[in-house]
Amino acid sequence: MANASNDIYDLYITNFQKVEDIRTTSVEFEKVINRSIIKHQLEEFLGLVKLIKIPAKSKNHTGETYQLFLRLERTNNHIGASDILNNLKFRGRPISVKINNLSSNKSQWLAANDEYKNINLHSEKMKLIRHLAEQANKNHPNQ
């Protein structure tokens, strides 16, 4: 996935189990990834974990596993990272690592889950309704 426009395509990871909560899972997952990178002396090639994003509604259809997005420090080597990290075990289960098909500049976090789109749409509608109500109050203060 060549990116002449400097878009970043994060790693899309599926088939992992949540630990306790999103924060704890994120911290534990980061440790596992960084340990593996350091153990295999790939820090210069991949860098360490820069960002992990676990969407709140990221359960798979069975509810047993989750998805996340991972960004390493050397984003230009994400293609190699997907091959290296694919099938790495997290909590005894091999994870699946692919390159996300949406760049981070194209709101991949929102596109990952349709519910996020609905939440954003609802939020925008609420802002518009509030704005219209404020305008109506300004135009007709005695009503």
Q: What is the CATH number of the domain that holds 83?
A: 3.30.70.330
- Asked if the structure places residue 1 within a domain, the reply is no
Q: Residue 100 belongs to what domain range?
A: 8-139
User: In this predicted model, what pLDDT tens digit does every residue of 35-88 receive, in sequence order?
Assistant: 999 999 999 999 999 988 887 666 555 666 778 889 999 999 998 999 999 999
- Asked if the structure places residue 44 within a domain, the reply is yes
Contacts of 67 (CB under 8 A, 6+ apart): 12, 13, 14, 54, 55, 58, 60, 112
- Asked if the structure places residue 69 within a domain, the reply is yes
- Asked if the structure places residue 3 within a domain, the reply is no
Pair 9, 1: CB distance under 8 Å: yes
Q: What pTM value is reported for the model?
A: 0.66
Q: Total structural domains in the chain?
A: 1
Residue 14 confidence (pLDDT):
85
